[in-house]
C-alpha cells in the first residue's frame, strides 16, 4: 500500500460569511490567535507525513500564496534586532521549493469539483483532503490518526464525529454497518439528509483519505445536494462499487471556523491553551461572569 504523501487544500471559496474582512484577505489567512487558519492545516499535514501540498485556489488568493513565500526583508529586520523566537515562528511558514502547487477552480461548483481540479497533480496514489475551516485541537493530530489507521485498513477513510440529531441536515452523514469502536465500516453516505431521514448521527468533517478511483467517480460531474458536485457522492460511489470506506472517530475537539461563532469559540479555546495567554484570558472571562455582563 502506498504511503499518503499528498494533500489537497480546497481554498477557492469567497468567505462571504466573514465579509467585509474577506473583501481584501482570503478567509484562510484570518488569524486564530496568532496563526492563520491555513497554518494549522499545514502543520497538521506535516505531522502526518505529508510532503506535497496542493492548493485549489481562485482569483484574489495571491495573499495566500505570498504567505508561504520567503520574506528576506522581514527576516533581516528580525535578525538585526535579535528576535530569534519570532524568526523561528517565521520559519514554520516557509515551504520548500516544489513542495507546494496551486491549481485554479474557475467556477464554484462544489467540494467534489475542487478536488477533481487537482487530479493531474494527485496521479495514481492515495491522497488526503483537508478543509482549513475545520480546525481540530488534538494531542495527536487528526490526520496523523487517520494515516495510521489507513495503513491498516486501506480504502477510503473519512473523519467522523457524533452530532446532535437536529444538526445532521448540515453535514454528510454516514450509514454504518456497526457503530462501535473508533473505526466504522461505512455502507452508505448521505449529503445533508432531510430531518428525520438521517441514517445515523455520525457526521463527516473536513478530513479525508481517498483513493484515485474517487477522482474517476468525479469525472461524471454529477450534481448533488445544493446543485453542487459533492465529494460525499463520489465516496458513496466507492461503496456502491464494492470498495471499502471507513469512518474514523478521531480523538480531539473540532471547531467550525467557517462560522463566526465557531471562530470565536476556537479563539477562546486556543487562547486558553497558550501558556503566555492563559492567565490573562482566564481572569478576563472570570471578570465577565462575575460582573454579570454575560447575562445581559
pLDDT value at 194 more than 90: no
For 258-289, the pLDDT digits (tens) are: 999 999 999 999 999 999 999 999 999 998 88
CB atoms within 10 A of CB 70: 12
Confidence of residue 18 (pLDDT cuts 50, 70, 90): confident
Least confident of 65-79, 137-151, 240-254: 65-79
Output the average pLDDT for the chain: 90
> What percentage of the chain carries pLDDT values higher than 70?
98
Which residue's C-alpha cell is 516544489? 98
**For range 11-19, the mean pLDDT:** 87
Cell digits of residue 196: 428525520
Position 189 scores a pLDDT of: 86
**Rounded CA separation 126/240 (Å):** 19
CATH superfamily, region 6-258: Spore Coat Polysaccharide Biosynthesis Protein SpsA; Chain A (3.90.550.10)
Position 220 scores a pLDDT of: 79
Position 266 scores a pLDDT of: 96
Cell digits of residue 222: 454529477
pLDDT value at 179 more than 70: no
Confidence of residue 296 (pLDDT cuts 50, 70, 90): low
**Rounded CA separation 194/174 (Å):** 14
Position 136 scores a pLDDT of: 96
Amino acid at each position: 500500500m502506498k504511503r499518503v504523501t499528498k494533500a489537497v487544500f480546497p481554498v477557492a471559496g469567497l468567505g462571504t460569511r466573514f465579509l467585509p474582512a474577506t473583501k481584501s484577505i482570503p478567509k484562510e489567512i484570518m488569524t486564530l490567535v496568532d496563526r492563520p487558519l491555513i497554518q494549522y492545516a499545514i502543520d497538521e499535514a506535516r505531522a502526518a507525513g505529508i510532503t506535497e501540498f496542493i492548493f485549489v485556489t481562485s482569483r484574489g488568493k495571491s495573499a495566500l500564496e505570498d504567505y508561504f513565500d520567503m520574506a528576506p526583508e522581514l527576516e533581516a529586520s528580525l535578525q538585526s534586532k535579535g528576535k530569534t523566537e519570532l524568526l523561528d515562528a517565521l520559519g514554520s511558514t516557509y515551504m520548500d521549493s516544489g513542495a507546494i502547487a496551486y491549481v485554479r477552480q474557475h467556477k464554484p461548483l462544489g467540494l467534489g469539483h475542487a478536488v477533481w481540479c487537482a487530479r493531474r497533480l494527485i496521479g495514481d496514489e492515495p491522497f488526503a483532503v483537508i478543509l482549513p475551516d475545520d480546525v481540530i485541537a488534538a494531542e495527536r493530530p487528526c490526520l496523523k490518526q487517520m494515516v495510521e489507521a489507513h495503513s491498516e485498513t486501506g480504502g477510503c477513510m473519512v473523519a467522523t464525529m457524533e452530532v446532535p440529531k437536529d444538526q445532521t441536515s448540515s453535514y454528510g452523514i454516514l450509514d454504518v454497518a456497526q457503530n462501535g469502536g473508533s473505526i466504522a465500516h461505512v455502507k452508505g453516505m448521505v449529503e445533508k439528509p432531510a430531518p428525520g431521514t438521517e441514517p445515523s448521527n455520525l457526521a463527516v468533517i473536513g478530513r479525508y483519505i481517498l483513493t484515485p478511483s474517487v477522482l474517476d467517480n468525479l469525472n461524471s460531474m454529477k450534481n448533488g445536494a445544493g446543485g453542487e458536485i459533492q465529494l460525499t457522492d463520489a465516496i458513496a460511489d466507492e461503496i456502491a462499487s464494492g470498495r471499502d470506506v471507513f469512518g474514523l472517530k478521531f480523538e480531539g475537539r473540532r471547531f467550525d471556523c467557517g462560522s463566526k461563532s465557531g471562530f470565536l469559540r476556537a479563539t477562546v479555546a486556543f487562547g486558553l491553551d497558550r501558556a503566555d495567554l492563559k492567565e490573562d484570558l482566564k481572569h478576563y472571562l472570570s471578570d465577565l461572569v462575575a460582573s454579570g455582563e454575560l447575562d445581559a
